Amino acid sequence: MAARYDHPGEQAAQDPIRLLAIRETPLSVDEVFTAVGDSAAGGTTLFVGTVRNHDGGADVDALGYSCHPSAEAELRRVAEKVCADYPVRALAAVHRVGDLEVGDIAVVVAVSCPHRGEAFEASRQLIDTLKHEVPIWKHQKFSDGTEEWVGAC
């Protein structure tokens, strides 16, 4: 049975993708949050991924992200799929590339939907699919001098 919408605000927005980017510069949580503001949204989720100081039992000193030239196009494809699966009012996603230090922001995603449950589910799909399908690779540098490449896809 098709979903019944009592108000136009219950539906997905005509163009819900407000901000998509892969950047070498520091990311702004405020910019992403502002991008998904929508008066018809009753729920907005914001996820911020930061560089942690450990991975797999080893201490991480720093890391670098690099991406394939198709990464932004793949990010758009992922965002469009999330918008097709949920009544998204607004969506934003930015990922950083280049050298980052522990504590730096690596990725920020946000989704606004008519209701909180939809916003949580859409946001979860967005970040999980981004991490698995957008060609962005992480080069971790450990305290013991070893290094590791981690592929997103």
pLDDT in tens, 50-84: 999 999 899 999 999 999 999 999 999 999 999 99
Structure tokens at 10: 């219950």
Does residue 91 belong to any structural domain of this protein?
yes
What is the phi-psi region of residue 21: left when phi exceeds 0, alpha when psi lies from -120 to 50, beta otherwise? beta
Does residue 1 belong to any structural domain of this protein?
no
DSSP code for 9: G
pTM: 0.91
Give the total number of structural domains in the chain: 1
| Span 97-130, pLDDT tens digits | 999 999 999 999 999 999 999 999 999 999 999 9
- CATH at residue 93: 3.90.1170.40
The parent domain of residue 117 ranges over 15-151
Does residue 7 belong to any structural domain of this protein?
no
